[in-house]
A and B are shown apart, each in its own frame.
Chain A
Amino acid sequence: MAAFAFEQSLNAIQLGLTLFLLTAGLTLTFGFMGVINLAHGSVYMIGAYVLAAVSLRTGSFLIGIAAALLTTGIIGLLLELSLVRRLYRRGHLDQVLATFAVILIANGLTTWLFGRQPIQLDIPSYLSGPLRLTADLSYPKYRAFLIALGVAIAVLLHIVMGRTRVGMRVRAGSTHRELVRALGVDVRGLFALVFGLGSMLAGFAGALIAPLQAVEAGMGDQIVILAFVVIVIGGVGSVRGAFFASLMVGIVDTLGRVVLPFLLKSFTAPAVSTALSIGVSSTAVYLLMAAVLIVRPAGLFAGRA
């Protein structure tokens, strides 16, 4: 039972860290540029598709990852230059409309290029299979790999955001946007850079999750909403907030799926308890968000603005 609890804790952390990869970029563009980018989930999907397509052709997972990073970074830059740049001064509604349109186009083009069947993808043999920790404790290698990468990216972002000039500008800008503009920093260049990097992170998340999931059109449409929930919980523009909120969401979601049915079983009929726990656990994240908002309307780690 201890092994089981430990394994579920790892599951929760892994879920949270993977979510963090998706939300880190989003919270920056959201806070820094004030742009609602619903198409962030489409970039996630593109990352998954590129990894699958390239690693199938080349037989190399690493080349696939590199291709996914490159493609989504470029797509992010192109999106910024062609579309998002024109949206900064627009209202949120125009942003929602335009990026909603991008989702439709991305989904349509993906099915046109790759068909409607999920596409083929294998985990490279060196990351496949279980990692045996003790006699009764093992964990999938690939998930352990995801945890390690998630931690690495979090540390890297922490250093970049806290120690480098660009990072500090971005951080200041994401909570005090007008201030950075007033200081005469080249915001246009910075915006493009941040948007490109944010997209790259989303593509990275998509590529990493691809071997564990069905790579199919629309795979980013639901998770992007979850990413926005994480951002609202963590506080718009705060990478630290996104990190802790992602972990919280991972934990709450896993608890809801594992512990809740178990608890409910002890005092209701099994059929009722499982259905009920699914109902509660699928809304638990949103309840968490509502609770946070009641206490702190601007999110847990919001800047004092």
Chain B
Amino acid sequence: MIRLIPSTVGLALVIAAIVLLPGVATALHQPFWISIGTRILIVGIAVISLDLVVGHAGLPSFGHAAFFGAGGFTAGILSVQAAADPSSALLQLIGSEAAVSWPLAAAVAGLFGLLFGALALRTRGVNFLMITLAFAQMLYFVFVSLPTYGGDEGVRLRQTQHLFGRDISDPLVFYYVVAAMLIGTILGMRMLMVSRFGRVLASCRQNERRTRFLGYRTDLYLLLAFALSAAGGGLAGALMANHLRYVSPQMMSWFQSGEFLIMNVLGGLASSYGGLLGAAAFIVLHETFLSFTEYWEVVLGIGLLVFVFANPGGLARLLADRR
């Protein structure tokens, strides 16, 4: 069985690359790498959190963008409300203090995860995939038809973001804040996957019925995994909202969910930092193709097909068709 075994050496290399990127970018006179790097790290957080459900627990979730968007809109709405009512000290605090708004975004997304997960986990396999997709679409349409927050066009965040009172809007500062969150996510994931909870998830992935007859209430473990994953997606969404200073329902579209899933498989399922590698590979390829041709979709599509078939059974085999 091929598996991406998270080695300590690999982790060290990844962390080193994250930490050194801004320096390298400056040395090579490519300062905009910091911006695209920030985006890769943020998407990496989203994909790693998706991997908890798809890779570790073996549930094919096709609705991760909903949580990404829910987190983004939480941050966005807080910021808009704070801007609308400058006299409210409380709103100012919530809207511009990341130490408040980010956990709040993660919590909101996590609650959505609990709700959607409770319903979706009544099924498995294909139906699970379709139901998570449909729930994400539902949330997407709700936000598209909410003109208060821009509807389809989205809203701009007006507040300058602070972390523990310090301004973090400088791109380099923000990069390192995001990097810290990402490294935290990776380390947290590594802790989780070897813990008792993680072992039960791995057991569910391999044989949920057997796990149930060992006395585990597998629904509860999977639900918590789903909610944690949603919260991670929400955190990434809030970070993205602050990075772009803009949120829109596009964050929740099913294409976004599809891209997350692609990055997840690309990077390797059931790993700790594979999601980051997948995000980096996908985003760099996407931007490169886009800069070369208007028909980048064709090139990207062919690339994906090659990837799927060059990996016969590959990393995705861990997620065999199971009910």
Which A residues are closer than 8 A to B by beta carbons? Answer: 30, 34, 36, 38, 83, 86, 90-94, 96-98, 100-105, 107-109, 111-112, 221, 225, 228-229, 231-232, 236, 275, 278-279, 282-283, 286-287, 289-290, 293-294, 297-299
Contacts and interface: CB of A to CB of B under 8 A. Distances in A.
Contacts of B300: 101, 104
User: Chain B contact residues (Cβ within 8 angstroms of A): what range?
Assistant: 35 or more
Contacts of B239: none
Interface stretch (B91-99, B105-113, B134-142, B207-215): B134-142
24 contacts: A83-B305, A91-B60, A91-B316, A92-B321, A93-B316, A94-B265, A94-B308, A96-B60, A98-B305, A101-B303, A101-B308, A104-B300, A104-B301, A105-B301, A108-B296, A108-B297, A111-B294, A228-B130, A228-B134, A232-B134, A279-B146, A286-B138, A290-B135, A298-B123
Interface stretch (B22-30, B195-203, B254-262): B254-262
Contacts of B131: 232, 289, 293
B88 interface: no
A38 B126 CA distance: 12
A98 B304 contact: yes
Contacts of A221: 255
Nearest to A111: B295
Interface string B281-317: 0000000000000111111111111011100010011
Interface of B: 54, 60, 62, 119, 122-123, 125-127, 129-131, 133-135, 137-138, 141-142, 144-147, 254-255, 258, 261-262, 264-265, 269, 294-305, 307-309, 313, 316-317, 319-321
Q: Closest 3 CB pairs between A and B?
A: A104-B301, A108-B298, A108-B297
Contacts of B305: 83, 98, 101-102, 105
A283 B130 contact: no
A91 B321 contact: yes
A229 B298 contact: no
B232 to A, nearest CB: 19
Contacts of A38: 258
A30 B134 CA distance: 16
Summarize A's interface: helix, strand, loop or mixed.
helix
Given A93-B319, A97-B304, A279-B146, A290 B119 contact: yes
Given A93-B54, A97-B262, A100-B258, A286 B134 contact: yes
B168 to A, nearest CB: 34
A286 B129 contact: no
Contacts of B307: 97
Specify which of A93, A100, A221, A293 lies most central, judged by the most chain B CB atoms within 10 Å of its CB.
A93
A103 B134 CA distance: 19
A236 B129 CA distance: 12
Given A93-B54, A97-B261, A112-B298, A275 B130 contact: no
A264 to B, nearest CB: 14
Contact of A236 (B127, B254, B321): B127
Given A34-B321, A111-B295, A282 B265 contact: no
Contacts of A299: 127
Contacts of A275: 145, 147
A278 B125 CA distance: 32
B195 to A, nearest CB: 25
A303 to B, nearest CB: 13
A93 B135 contact: no
A94 B269 CA distance: 12
Contacts of A91: 60, 316-317, 319-321
Contacts of A101: 300-305, 308
A86 B311 CA distance: 12
Contact of A100 (B129, B138, B262): B262
A107 B258 CA distance: 16
Nearest to B255: A221
Given A293-B131, A294-B119, A298-B123, A107 B141 contact: no
